[in-house]
C-alpha cells in the first residue's frame, strides 16, 4: 500500500509539473488517512446537507460511512500531525450531522457546518480549490448515496429532484479548475464538473439514472478528493538556481506567496529568511525552528543545518505548511552568516539573485573593510572636523570590518585633532561602524535620548531601512543616491522578488555587480530621515504603515527620504 501511494503521489506531482525528488517524509499512510477523512466526511456531510430533499438513508450504510470518517479524522492527528482542536471540531460536526439525519432541517444545518469545517482541512497547494473540491464532493456524494439507497420506485423522482443541485458545485469546481490552470488538480476539477453536468442531465431529462455516469462521477470525485488530500508539493527551485548557491523561492502560506531565502545553501549551518510573520522552518517537519527577528533586519530568520545533497526544507506560517527543495553541494560555510552580520550577508546574496547572478556566495561584507569604505569614513571624520566639533564618539564591533573601520576613524580623528569617546559620554557626533545588529539598538537609544549624541554618522554599509527609521539624525557617506534610476530599479525588483525586504547597501552592491554596473560617483554625505505627515489616518502609525502603499517596498526608505546634503567631500588619504 505504501509504495502504491508513493507512486501515486509522485505521479500526481509529475502531472502538475512539479519535482518530487526523494521524499523520506511523504508519509503515504497519512495521505491515505487524509483521503479517507475527506472522502467519508464529505459523504457524511452531504447526506445530512441534502436531507430536506431526500428520504432518510439506510441506517447501517450511513453509520458505516460516518464511523469511517470519524476514525480517519482521529487518525490524522497521529499520522499527519494535524492540529487537534480543528480535527476534533470537524469530527464532532460530522457526528452531529449523522445523528441529526432524522430531523431534516437540523441535518441541513449540521451538514453545512460539517462540510465547511471539512473543507478547511484540505492542505497544501490546493488552497481554495481544495475547499471547493470538498464542498462539491459533499453535495455530489450525498446525492449519489441518496439515490443509490432509494427504493426502485422512487429513485427516478428523487434523481430528478436532486439533479439541479449538482450544478452549482459543478460551476464552482469548474471555476476552481480554470483558476488553477493546466495542473493535474485543475484538470480533475474541470473533469468532475463535466461529469456532474452529464449526470444531472441524465437524472433530469431522461429519467435514466446513468449508472455509468454515476460511476464516472464517483471516480472523478475520488480523484479530486485525493488531490485535495495530497501533501503540499515542494516549491520548485527558482529559475536559474544553482546547487550550492543561495536559493530564493516562494511557497504558498495562508493563501499568499511567501518568499524563502536559503543562504548559502551548503552543507552545514544555513541562514533561512522567510517573508512572513511567526514562521518556522526546519528539515524535520516535527521539529521546526522559529524564524525570529534580528536587530537591524526585518521579517523572520532561522539557522538551519542542511545535509549534503538534496533535501527538503519545511516552512510553516499561519497554520500552513509548505516544502522547499534544497540542493547543497560540498563546500565550506561562511562564518559571518552565522553571526550578527548574517542578515546583511543574506541581503547581499539576495541582491545578487535579484540582479540575476546565481553563483555561490564566497564571502560576506563584514569579512573585510573595503578601500572605498575606509576612505568614506576618513572623509566623514574630516567633514566633522571642518564643522568645528571637539570630538566624536565611536561605536564598532568585533567583525574584521568593524575592527578595521574603528581603526580608520580613530587614526583620522587623531590626525584631525579630535578626541574619540565612547558613545554616550557627551553630546558629540556619534560615528557608527559596527554591523546592523549593534547599530540598531544604539540608534534607538539616541532617538529616545538615552544616548546623547549630536547626530549619528553611519558607515556606508548601514544604509538599510530599519536603521534609518530611528529619529537619530542619521548621515551616511555614499557614492550613489538612493533616488538614482538604478538604485530605484534595484529596490523595485527587490520588492517584487521578496516583498517587504528592505533595500540595503550590500544588496545594491551585489545587484550592481550582477548587472555589471557600477555606481561610483563622488562621495557625498546623505541625510536620512522619516518624513511623516498626518492625514486621513490621523495619529495612528499602524494605520499609516508603509505596507499600505502599493509601491512602498520599491523605495529605499518607505515613508522617508535619503538626500545628498553636501556636494562632493574631500577624501583624505590614509
Contact positions vs another protein (CB under 8 A): 387, 389, 429, 444, 446-449, 452-455, 469-475, 481, 483-485, 488-489, 491-492, 524-525, 527-541, 543-546, 548-552, 554-555, 558-561, 563-568
Min dist CB 295 to another protein, Å, is: 14
> Which residue lies nearer to another protein by CB, 472 or 509?
472
User: Rounded distance, CA 376 to CA 520, Å?
Assistant: 12
> Which residue lies nearer to another protein by CB, 282 or 455?
455
> Which residue lies nearer to another protein by CB, 6 or 561?
561
- Which stretches does DSSP call E strand in 522-572? 524-530, 560-564
> Which residue lies nearer to another protein by CB, 512 or 525?
525
Cell of 350: 539576495
H runs (alpha helix) in 50-183: 59-79, 84-99, 104-119, 127-149, 152-162, 167-180
Strand order in the sheet with 279-282: 234-235, 320-328, 309-317, 279-282, 289-291
Min dist CB 344 to another protein, Å, is: 21
Cell of 125: 497547494
> Which residue lies nearer to another protein by CB, 140 or 556?
556
Min dist CB 521 to another protein, Å, is: 9
Can you tell me whether residue 248 is helix, strand or coil? strand
Min dist CB 507 to another protein, Å, is: 17
> Which residue lies nearer to another protein by CB, 208 or 537?
537
User: Rounded distance, CA 474 to CA 313, Å?
Assistant: 39
Closest C-alpha among 157, 153, 169 to residue 49: 169
Min dist CB 155 to another protein, Å, is: 55
Min dist CB 356 to another protein, Å, is: 17
Min dist CB 478 to another protein, Å, is: 13
User: Rounded distance, CA 128 to CA 130, Å?
Assistant: 5
Min dist CB 516 to another protein, Å, is: 20
Query: Are 185 and 172 within 8 A, CB to CB?
Result: no
Residue identified by cell 550613489 is 480
C-beta pairs of 298-301 under 8 Å, 24+ apart in sequence: 298/465, 298/466, 298/500, 298/501, 298/502, 299/273, 299/274, 299/275, 299/500, 299/501, 300/273, 300/274, 300/275, 300/276, 301/271, 301/272, 301/273, 301/274, 301/342, 301/343, 301/346
> Which residue lies nearer to another protein by CB, 294 or 524?
524
Min dist CB 279 to another protein, Å, is: 21
> Which residue lies nearer to another protein by CB, 387 or 516?
387
Min dist CB 473 to another protein, Å, is: 3
Query: Are 236 and 323 within 8 A, CB to CB?
Result: no
Min dist CB 430 to another protein, Å, is: 10
Helix axes 28-49, 59-79, angle to 10 degrees: 140
365: which strand partners?
none
Rounded to whole angstroms, the maximal C-alpha distance in the chain is 107
User: Rounded distance, CA 383 to CA 520, Å?
Assistant: 20
> Which residue lies nearer to another protein by CB, 54 or 529?
529
Q: Which helix (H) or strand (E) holds 386?
A: helix 371-386
Q: Which helix (H) or strand (E) holds 394?
A: strand 391-395
Query: Are 342 and 301 within 8 A, CB to CB?
Result: yes
> Which residue lies nearer to another protein by CB, 415 or 444?
444
> How many CB atoms are located within 10 Å of the residue 375 CB?
18
Min dist CB 533 to another protein, Å, is: 5
> With b meaning 16 or more CB within 10 Å and e meaning fewer, what string describes 499-538?
bbbbbbbbbbbbbbebbeeebeeebbbbbbbeeeeeeeee
Min dist CB 401 to another protein, Å, is: 24
> Which residue lies nearer to another protein by CB, 73 or 455?
455
> Which residue lies nearer to another protein by CB, 259 or 546?
546
> Which residue lies nearer to another protein by CB, 243 or 527?
527
Amino acid at each position: 500500500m505504501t509504495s502504491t501511494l508513493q507512486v501515486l503521489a509522485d505521479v500526481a506531482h509529475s502531472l502538475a509539473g512539479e519535482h518530487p525528488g526523494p521524499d523520506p517524509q511523504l508519509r503515504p499512510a497519512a495521505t491515505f488517512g487524509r483521503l479517507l477523512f475527506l472522502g467519508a466526511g464529505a459523504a457524511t456531510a452531504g447526506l445530512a446537507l441534502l436531507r430536506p430533499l431526500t428520504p432518510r438513508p439506510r441506517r447501517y450504510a450511513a453509520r458505516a460511512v460516518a464511523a469511517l470518517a470519524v476514525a480517519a479524522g482521529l487518525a490524522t492527528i497521529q499520522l499527519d500531525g494535524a492540529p487537534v482542536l480543528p480535527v476534533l471540531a470537524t469530527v464532532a460536526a460530522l457526528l452531529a450531522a449523522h445523528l441529526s439525519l432524522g430531523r431534516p432541517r437540523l441535518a441541513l444545518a449540521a451538514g453545512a457546518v460539517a462540510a465547511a469545517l471539512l473543507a478547511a482541512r484540505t492542505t497544501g497547494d490546493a488552497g481554495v480549490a481544495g475547499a471547493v473540491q470538498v464542498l462539491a464532493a459533499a453535495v455530489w456524494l450525498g446525492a449519489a448515496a441518496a439515490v443509490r439507497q432509494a427504493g426502485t420506485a422512487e429513485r427516478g423522482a428523487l434523481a430528478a429532484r436532486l439533479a439541479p443541485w449538482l450544478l452549482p458545485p459543478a460551476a464552482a469546481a469548474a471555476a476552481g479548475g480554470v483558476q488553477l490552470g493546466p495542473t493535474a488538480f485543475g484538470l480533475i476539477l474541470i473533469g468532475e464538473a463535466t461529469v456532474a453536468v452529464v449526470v444531472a442531465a441524465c437524472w433530469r431529462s431522461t429519467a435514466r439514472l446513468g449508472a455509468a455516469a454515476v460511476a464516472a462521477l464517483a471516480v472523478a470525485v475520488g480523484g479530486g478528493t485525493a488531490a485535495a488530500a495530497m501533501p503540499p508539493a515542494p516549491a520548485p527551485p527558482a529559475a536559474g538556481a544553482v546547487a550550492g548557491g543561495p536559493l530564493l523561492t516562494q511557497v504558498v502560506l495562508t493563501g499568499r506567496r511567501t518568499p524563502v531565502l536559503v543562504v548559502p545553501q551548503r552543507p552545514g549551518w544555513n541562514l533561512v529568511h522567510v517573508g512572513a510573520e511567526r514562521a518556522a522552518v526546519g528539515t524535520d517537519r516535527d521539529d521546526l525552528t522559529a524564524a525570529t527577528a534580528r536587530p537591524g533586519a526585518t521579517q523572520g530568520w532561522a539557522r538551519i543545518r542542511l545535509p549534503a545533497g538534496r533535501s527538503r526544507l519545511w516552512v510553516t506560517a499561519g497554520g500552513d505548511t509548505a516544502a522547499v527543495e534544497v540542493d547543497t553541494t560540498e563546500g565550506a560555510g561562511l562564518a559571518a552568516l552565522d553571526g550578527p552580520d548574517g542578515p546583511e550577508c543574506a541581503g547581499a546574496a539576495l541582491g545578487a539573485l535579484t540582479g540575476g547572478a546565481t553563483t555561490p556566495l564566497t564571502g560576506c561584507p563584514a569579512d573585510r573593510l573595503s578601500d572605498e569604505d575606509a576612505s568614506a569614513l576618513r572623509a566623514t571624520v574630516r567633514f566633522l572636523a571642518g564643522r568645528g566639533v571637539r570630538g566624536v564618539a565611536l561605536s564598532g564591533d568585533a567583525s574584521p570590518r568593524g575592527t578595521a573601520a574603528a581603526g580608520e576613524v580613530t587614526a583620522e580623528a587623531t590626525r584631525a585633532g579630535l578626541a574619540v569617546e565612547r558613545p554616550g559620554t557627551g553630546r558629540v557626533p556619534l560615528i557608527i561602524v559596527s554591523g546592523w545588529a549593534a547599530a540598531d539598538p544604539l540608534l534607538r537609544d539616541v532617538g529616545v535620548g538615552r544616548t546623547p549624541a549630536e547626530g549619528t554618522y553611519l558607515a556606508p554599509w548601514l544604509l538599510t531601512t530599519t536603521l534609518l527609521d530611528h529619529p537619530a539624525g542619521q548621515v551616511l557617506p555614499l557614492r550613489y543616491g538612493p533616488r538614482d534610476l538604478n538604485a530605484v530599479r534595484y529596490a523595485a525588483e527587490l520588492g517584487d522578488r521578496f516583498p517587504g525586504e528592505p533595500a540595503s547597501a550590500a544588496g545594491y552592491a551585489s545587484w550592481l555587480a550582477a548587472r555589471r554596473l557600477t555606481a561610483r560617483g563622488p562621495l557625498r554625505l546623505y541625510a536620512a530621515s522619516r518624513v511623516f505627515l498626518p492625514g486621513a489616518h490621523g495619529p495612528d502609525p499602524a494605520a499609516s504603515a508603509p505596507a499600505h502603499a502599493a509601491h512602498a517596498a520599491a523605495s529605499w526608505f518607505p515613508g522617508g527620504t535619503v538626500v545628498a546634503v553636501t556636494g562632493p567631500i574631500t577624501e583624505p588619504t590614509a
